[in-house]
């Protein structure tokens, strides 16, 4: 049997993790998550970078381009929309209910949503394109010209190999 050294902090960390999990489940995500998302559902999205742009892809099945609004303010891209419930069925039944649909299960989320994505420094917010195909919204944000890497040519100076003649000290005058 291996002897293991007792660490009192290990138990405290375990208790702290359990409490965080409990409060997170009970009270929902913290204020920081609320700043990014709002609404009755949140569409999943991916954000990635290519050599010349940032790409945001959001899963918006069942929506059209008319259901979506994209704005950019202070380098924060905001995606808003409203996924409608099937046809003209009233918001969650009761009232006069007789409809031709008889749902046995409803697992898809409906209603308004908002996602906010902070754009990286060096995004060119004047060059944003959005397209939608097969339920996927793709937003492409160009990188600003200065954000792209630039190779700088190093020239040989006076006194270095391949450079010109050197007169006096490196500063050009001797101090005495």
What are 12's two structure tokens?
């405290």
Burial class, 81, CB count within 10 angstroms (exposed 0-12 / middle 13-18 / buried 19+): buried
User: Residue 34: what pLDDT?
Assistant: 41
Q: What confidence tens digit (pLDDT) does each residue in 8-65 have?
A: 777 777 787 787 777 765 555 444 444 455 657 889 999 999 989 999 999 999 899 9
Q: What is the largest CA-CA distance in the chain?
A: 102
Range in 40-44, 56-60, 81-85, 172-176 the model is least confident about? 172-176
User: Residue 66: what pLDDT?
Assistant: 92
Range in 51-60, 124-133, 151-160 the model is least confident about? 151-160
């Amino acid at each position: 049997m291996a002897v293991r050294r007792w660490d009192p902090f290990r138990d405290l960390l375990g208790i702290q993790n359990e409490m965080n999990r409990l409060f997170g489940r009970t009270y929902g995500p913290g204020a920081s998550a609320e700043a990014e998302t709002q609404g009755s559902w949140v569409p999943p999205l991916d954000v990635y970078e290519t050599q010349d742009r940032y790409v945001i892809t959001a899963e918006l099945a069942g929506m059209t381009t008319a259901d979506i609004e994209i704005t950019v303010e202070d380098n924060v891209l905001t995606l808003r929309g409203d996924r409608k419930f099937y046809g003209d069925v009233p918001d969650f039944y009761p009232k006069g209910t007789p409809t031709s649909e008889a749902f046995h299960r409803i697992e898809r989320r409906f209603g308004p949503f908002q996602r906010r994505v902070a754009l990286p420094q060096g995004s060119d917010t004047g060059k944003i394109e959005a397209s939608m195909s097969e339920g996927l919204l793709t937003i492409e944000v160009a990188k600003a010209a200065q954000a792209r890497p630039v190779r700088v040519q190093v020239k040989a100076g006076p006194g270095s190999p391949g450079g010109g003649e050197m007169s006096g000290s490196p500063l050009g005058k001797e101090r005495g």
